[in-house]
Structure 1
Amino acid sequence: MPISLTLPQPDGGLARYHLVGTPLGRPTAAPVFNRIAYAAAHVVSDPRRDARPWEAPAIDWERTMAFRHHLWSLGFRIAEAMDTAQRGMGLDWAGAQELIRRSLAEAKAVPGADLACGAGTDHLNPADARSLDDVIRAYEEQVGFVEKHGGRAIMMASRALARLAASPDDYRKVYGRILGQAKDRVVLHWLGDMFDPQLAGYWGSRDFAPALETVLSIIAENRGKVEGIKISLLDNACEVALRNRLPEGVLCFTGDDFNYAELIEGDGQKYSHALLGIFDAVAPQASKALAALAAGDAATFRAIIEPTVPLSRKIFEVPTQYYKAGVVFLAWLNGHQDHFTMPAGMQSARGLLHYAEVFRLADRANVLDRPDLAAARMKNLMAVLGVGQD
């Protein structure tokens, strides 16, 4: 019998929605990709222990680690303690340290598991930073922590640096110092201000062209220490411009949650690897698509991955920094956690109409792994928010 439920419409009315999606089967073993694919993973709250979700959110470490095993089983590397894990928006540095420790220890017990960890300056209040040396010390502490525990660093953008830097040379100084000290090659992260408004003007300019020159100069000056750069500007032309000018051996990781399908496939000459928050939400679909691409079957890659793009664009719509709510919403619908609560109460960052459309788009993209469970949970959410079911 077809599954259906009542969902709200943009005009304020209600309509019956009939599910049409078909869940994908899981691989019997982790597939092999011909693109490096990092999934930025979320953290799971523990509402039974969460007395102060804004100030000191409680984390369900068992479910948080179980989700990482889910991603590893599908062939992904994990980008740990990044913005998808609510860094600076619910997860502070103390929580990130615990997450990094646990994930690195967990990975050692999983054959083939790989991850890199976000290291930034988020324990330094931007208003308290007085000099570039303060920013350098903050980066040194976090990169040092990751390396001490056997991890590789993703050098996250710094709100404090964005506030203090007076010129591109200030970025060269800070990045040059940290990269020069790094034990392993580091992934840089160009995060646009649509993800974090406090990063406006990063690299010393609000315009792309001069910012690009600064980034390229930093990479050129530290080429032996840079594995690659993740670019998250939601503009495929900007990413292609960066990708085309990277030195040989330095990788471009797409962080474009609007245009990832075409950027990963490439233009016949060059392509992007991936470091994406949306892969948290659509992991089985992305895994199957990437495996098809590795097998030379671009048509199947497109057939599977392209329906997830409208879903991703909805999840990452303005205000983009609240995309984490949609990612965790889908984890709940798909049974990876038994509640829809988030650190800092971030589930309240999106409204009823947003979640209803995410549900419809997820169904059409075959992202609902267990449609019966997803529909039952969606009905419960609708009831809590005042939408009764027939």
Structure 2
Amino acid sequence: MANDETRPESIAAQALGWIDQTTRAINPPIHMSSTFLRDADNQYSSGRVYIRDQNPAFDQAEAVITALEGGHETLLFASGMAAATAVFQGLRPGDHVLAPHVMYWSLRNWLLGFATSWGLEVELIDMTDPSSVAAALRPGQTKLVWVETPANPLWTITDIAATAELAHGVGALLAVDSTAATPVLTRPLELGADLVMHSATKYLNGHSDLTAGTVTTRAENEHWQRVRAVRAQNGGTLGSFESWLLLRGLRTLYLRVRAASTSAQLIAEYFYGHPLVAEVLYPGLASAHGHEIASRQMHDGYGGMLSIRTAGGEAAAIATAATTTLWKRATSLGGVESLIEHRASVEGPGSPVPADLLRLSVGIEHVDDLITDLEHALTVAHNGIELRV
């Protein structure tokens, strides 16, 4: 179905127009077999030996994501963490890597704990400042620069094109965690990145009913071959039903992300300057640090994620989250339901997240209902604190 003129919305909605040739079904079958028959001459003409990394259920979802990202190949993993860590496991002991101070907390902990024990030299820097990147790069030793933009949960912006140029100048690869942006809003490979990763648990699936991760490469190279081997040998892959669910979610990706982005922009603007909110963190605000860069590298909106810092401090933030009814108190993001979370409580000691911060994942509910619910919760929390004082 897809050709050079097919728009990404159509590619996603029809999943590349694939039709089952046996049954003429529009939706793919779910292949459950764990093993595949050898030919009489002991070969595998089907190209499949074992389900761990050759599951037919992977094919269509990987092909759709590759097309949406404009890449060479995509690999599915059992989670976003499995996908992200495979990129680092494709490196060699002694390699130097750069990652941002502000990033997904679990990956940050993994880098500082596990990756360093395996011989990687990990350095965390301010990835939003090109001069900091340039100063930290080591020619011949830095092999990977990891960027997350917008970066969870402060939603800071990194200039992908500028960072790619710096990384390539010393022979390093640039990998971008684009979970919050999705290919709807940003296509990192077109901006010079070598790899783009998603926690597909979030927006790519969009229904909060599976864990999955993806990595897409711009080109075939030695590092990508090692990432592919990591997946096959570590076994961090999806099951057949989860692969089917991911493909199902991808079909509505553009509708969901655009709806969430539109609502997030309206919510950010409403609470900007609100007397019960100390700060709104959202790259779509003209006052946001990195807004100009975001406007260049993001299209069709600035994403469905934002954070607010409550005027009443940590107590008000926790009380607000406890009082909302439409916003659900839960970890994760990118689903059709709106979620609220006191992020510092989740990340614990050592987190760079301010104690008064609430992370908001905007779903597809009516935006007026979301604003009313959040404003009511802020008011109740503020009044409660005043009464206690």
What TM-score does the superposition give when structure 1 sets the normalisation length?
A: 0.33
Return the index of the structure with the highest Cα Rg.
2
Q: Which is richer in helix?
A: 1
